[in-house]
Amino acid sequence: FKGKTPFITFVLGGPGSGKGTQCEKIVENFGFTHLSAGDLLRREIISNTEYGAKILDTIKEGKIVPSEVTVKLIRKEMESSDNYKFLIDGFPRSEENRIAFERITEADPDIVLFFDCPEEEMVKRVLNRNQGRVDDNIDTIRKRLKIFESLNLPVVNYYSKRGKLYTINAVGTADEIFEQVRPVFAAHEE
């Protein structure tokens, strides 16, 4: 990391809450490297690796891929990057994910963003996306929302208690939402 301590942001929020969209804007404005856990997993499926078939089944069911698999992929990307500022998008999705990341990387996030979005809005956005994702159908979306509530929200609460959480109201245009995101990063720039 160019001799610097990595600066890590976890980007959390339900399916379709706008994590990927806002990450692109953060990259453009603040020079982060964007690591979407979902994209890394989908890349494994396409490249037919050891875990590909199992990952596909898990994503179709809206369930969470075993922590070791995801953490390994994230760590590999971090280690091969020459940047030290990372946006980790869509991870950790469970307390187990969070604890595995801490244990394996010995790192802690500096910022945790949470995109807070009503369910109807998330469903609408995901159904409108039309990019052929195997999990963008109403059955899988319902499952993703349930898993989000039961497993991801405890992670959000954990960081809230530790004073690291920035909750963003994820309703509005992407530009309006970014105007809430911008000051979080501006305040952390040296």
Quickly list H helices, the chain. Answer: 19-30, 37-46, 52-60, 67-79, 95-105, 119-129, 138-147, 153-161, 174-186
Answer with the entry of Mg ion, ligand UP5, none that 53 interacts with (C-beta below 5 to 8 A by kind).
Answer: none
109 lines the binding site for ligand UP5 (CB under 6 A): no
Q: Which stretch binds ligand UP5 (CB under 6 A): 78-86, 101-109, 125-133, 158-166?
A: 125-133
**Which one of residues 6, 35, 86, 93 is an interface residue with ligand UP5 (CB under 6 A)?**
93
27 lines the binding site for Mg ion (CB under 5 A): no
73 lines the binding site for ligand UP5 (CB under 6 A): no
Q: Which stretch binds ligand UP5 (CB under 6 A): 1-9, 33-41, 156-164, 180-188?
A: 33-41
Q: Cα dist. 141→118, 124, 125 in Å?
A: 14, 10, 11
Alpha carbon distance 156, 114 (integer Å): 7
